[in-house]
Structure formats: structure tokens, C-alpha cells
């Protein structure tokens, strides 16, 4: 329901702002502002996006919780989409998302509403991400047991397999790639 309201309200707000701003300053200055905000927004998104990627990589390298750098990167991506969308309201929201202070406020707002029950990092443990009311599972402890399947191979060559597609096979103990 909220998404439907957003799809209806945002275009109406944009149209109202275009009419108001265009009536106050004229058509060409209005179009110039829309073009300049897209160019400036693209430049800012590129530079902040590269910094966000660096922060995510650093958190992975240091085995820190990557949630906040990933959320900042996602908000920068959303800001880029909003800044490339023509309009004054979407530009205002996009530029707001490019400010780190606003992103921190949005992250704190989202963190209060999202519940993560389990998070582990490391090569021997699996990460369990749950949201909402679900059963809590403990990650399994590392084990020395390796599950696998095997089948026994007959070491004597089959005479019927001596030639495949008219090509003579090497003897059973030679691969054909190495000289014995």
C-alpha cells in the first residue's frame, strides 16, 4: 500500500514543483537546473560510491560487521537513481542521501526496525541471517568429518576401450600428457 502511494504521490509532487519553479524562473533555467543536478549528482555518486566500496572491503578484510558500510553503499546507489530521475523532489532526497549525517540517521532508523538474530564471520562457520520471528539456530561447530561418496575403479583395462573414436588410448597407467 505504501509503495502504491509513493508511485502516485511522487510524480504529483514533481509536476507541482516543475509548474511552480518553471512559472517563477522560466522553462530554460528550469531545464538547466535539472541537467546540472544530474551531472553534479553523477560526479558525487561516483566519488562517494568508490569510498563506500573501499569501506566495505576494509570491513571484510578486518572481519568487522559490514552492515553499516553496505547500507551506506545502498543509500548512495539509491541517491544516484534519484539524482538521475528528473525532478526537484527526487533531487532533494538524492542530495540528502549523499550527506553522511543523513545516511547515519537513516541507518539508525532502519536498524531499530530490522532484527538480525544471528551473524557470524569466518571461513569455518556459516552466517545465519534471520529477520522476524523465526527459530533461533546455533551455527554448527567445525568438524574433522568430511562427507563424500566413492566408487571402486577396476585397475585392469577393458580391451573394448582400447580405441575411442578411432584414436588409440594410451596404456592404463599413462595419462598421455606425461612421459613415463
pLDDT of 91-136, one tens digit each? Answer: 999 999 999 999 999 999 988 888 776 666 655 444 444 444 444 4
pLDDT at 161 over 60: no
| 60: its cell numbers | 571484510
129 or 72: which carries more pLDDT confidence? 72
Domain around 74:
26-113
Work out the number of other CB atoms within 10 angstroms of the CB of residue 71: 18
* Tally of CA atoms within 13 A in the half-sphere of 114 that contains its CB: 13
What is the structure's pLDDT at 163?
A: 54
For residue 107, tell me if it sits in a domain. yes
For residue 69, tell me if it sits in a domain. yes
Mean pLDDT of the chain: 79
Lowest mean pLDDT among 11-20, 38-47, 118-127: 118-127
For residue 45, tell me if it sits in a domain. yes
pLDDT at 27 over 70: yes
174 or 77: which carries more pLDDT confidence? 77
pLDDT at 159 over 80: no
For residue 129, tell me if it sits in a domain. no
For residue 78, tell me if it sits in a domain. yes
Please give the Cα distance from 146 to 150 (Å, whole number): 12
For residue 56, tell me if it sits in a domain. yes
**Residues 33-43: what's their mean pLDDT?**
91
For residue 18, tell me if it sits in a domain. no
pTM of the model: 0.60
For residue 101, tell me if it sits in a domain. yes
What is the structure's pLDDT at 2?
A: 85
Taken in order 113, 118, 122, 126, the sign of the CA dihedral is: negative
Q: How many structural domains compose the chain?
A: 1
Work out the number of other CB atoms within 10 angstroms of the CB of residue 72: 22
Residue tagged 520471528 (cell numbers): 133
Amino acid at each position: 500500500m505504501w509503495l502504491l502511494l509513493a508511485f502516485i504521490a511522487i510524480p504529483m509532487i514533481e509536476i507541482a514543483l516543475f509548474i511552480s519553479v518553471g512559472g517563477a524562473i522560466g522553462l530554460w533555467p528550469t531545464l538547466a537546473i535539472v541537467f546540472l543536478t544530474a551531472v553534479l549528482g553523477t560526479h558525487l555518486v561516483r566519488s562517494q560510491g568508490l569510498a563506500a566500496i573501499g569501506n566495505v572491503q576494509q570491513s571484510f578484510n578486518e572481519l568487522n560487521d559490514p552492515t553499516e558500510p553496505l547500507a551506506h553503499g545502498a543509500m548512495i546507489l539509491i541517491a544516484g537513481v534519484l539524482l538521475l530521475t528528473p525532478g526537484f523532489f527526487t533531487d532533494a532526497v538524492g542530495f540528502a542521501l549523499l550527506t553522511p549525517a543523513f545516511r547515519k540517521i537513516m541507518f539508525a532508523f532502519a536498524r531499530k526496525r530490522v532484527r538480525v538474530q544471528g551473524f557470524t564471520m569466518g571461513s569455518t562457520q556459516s552466517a545465519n541471517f534471520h529477520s522476524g520471528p523465526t527459530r533461533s539456530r546455533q551455527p554448527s561447530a567445525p568438524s574433522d568429518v568430511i562427507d563424500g561418496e566413492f566408487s571402486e575403479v577396476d585397475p585392469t583395462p577393458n580391451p573394448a576401450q582400447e580405441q575411442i573414436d578411432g584414436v588409440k588410448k594410451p596404456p592404463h597407467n599413462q595419462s598421455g600428457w606425461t612421459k613415463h
